[in-house]
Structure 1
């Protein structure tokens, strides 16, 4: 492949013709046809402009399994991958941050119960591919608008802590009228465990005594999601 030139430095830039074609497809609305590795290639090229990033992009997709798993992977794991650095990882992570911001906007700006599908889309995009368990509590006001989306705990591959006292104490501190519990199952199966059901019942009971409603407990998995309310568990 012919080499082009960096217009700012005058130095040769690897793969400039190929990158120009990728850029043209992106700018003309044809980016939806790009392969996953081409998306990664272009993103990394923004951080490493004088390097052929195609081989590295393919290696990353192969190592992490898919484009989505690559984006949600731990930053330390990405930084330590041969050929990567903090600037390259940041180029990937800004896409994750921007994508989540875009998806979450309806849930952040409108009453959550009226934008339920948007909330589920956001949670699945953020948590379905995680290799470790993450527990979050969404705090809502009296009009079911989001006050705070808080990460409560982050655990091992199959366990993270959720404590009734701490959840209710935080809800009182924020003045929450309602909460939604959320966690993921790294195994991919969103079926609730006995422990999930027990802790949810405890939090619901504690909330009722203090006027705090638990709207739902949502478990996110690669297979989809499970809503405690829709299953009759709340």
Structure 2
């Protein structure tokens, strides 16, 4: 007895896995199109979904994106979370964590670009925006030093200390030592609990 054959002209019904893959690809393409047309219209979880899709191309990343939002609170909170904390969420491995952290570093560098090679005193609002971008959402306290030359141009931007959730040590001797090594004429000291008004000191 011969096996039944499909009727002529009718294709076989796709298997469930194949159909799922096709639906997944179609969804991601539609999401990408929506982003290119109106990026500001995407909710936080869909923006994360696109990012995670670059790191995990073979997987539907919507559930993972929603899990991250539920765990951390918002897109900004996810991006600024510590890499090890990100990996506590099931499905986030090294590649996904690194992809998310790249976005934060890109934001910091974009904010810093207008400050480089310009007088920071004459671009105070730009400097404040950069400090907020780099420090406001950090989970622990941080003390950052901005070293300036005689023209108040930024010559170095360094994290002097990273502390706990409510404490950051400051060692004046190390600050002065570093300033002398860089031949800095002034220092702007920024703490993320008070980054609305950075403290500026000239070196005599």
| Ranges in structure 2 where 5+ consecutive residues have no aligned partner | 1-15
Contact 1:100 1:122 in 2 (8 A): yes
Give the aligned partner of residue 45 of structure 1.
53
Structure 1 residues 104-159: Cα deviation after superposition (integer angstroms, max 9, x where no partner)? 11112311112211111111112111111011100011111111111111111111
Give the aligned partner of residue 114 of structure 2.
106
What root-mean-square deviation, in Å, do the aligned CA atoms of Structure 1 and Structure 2 show?
Answer: 2.0
Superposition deviation, residue 42 in structure 1:
0.6
- CA distance in 2 between partners of 1:228 and 1:112 (Å): 13
Secondary structure of 2:131's counterpart equals helix
Give the aligned partner of residue 22 of structure 1.
31
Bigger radius of gyration: 2
Q: 1:19 to 1:89 in 2, by over 3 A?
A: same
Give the aligned partner of residue 74 of structure 2.
66
Contact 2:161 2:170 in 1 (8 A): yes
Residues 123-138 of structure 1 mapped to structure 2, 5 A cutoff: 123-138=131-146
Q: 1:15 to 1:163 in 2, by over 3 A?
A: same
Secondary structure of 1:137's counterpart equals strand
More strand by share: 1
Contact 1:72 1:130 in 2 (8 A): yes
Q: What TM-score comes out, normalization by structure 2 length? A: 0.84
Contact 1:79 1:86 in 2 (8 A): yes
Give the aligned partner of residue 179 of structure 1.
187
- CA distance in 2 between partners of 1:59 and 1:160 (Å): 32
| Residue-pair matches, total | 184
Give the aligned partner of residue 197 of structure 2.
226
| Ranges in structure 1 where 5+ consecutive residues have no aligned partner | 6-10, 186-218, 230-234
- CA distance in 1 between partners of 2:122 and 2:141 (Å): 27
Superposition deviation, residue 80 in structure 1:
2.7
Secondary structure of 2:190's counterpart equals strand
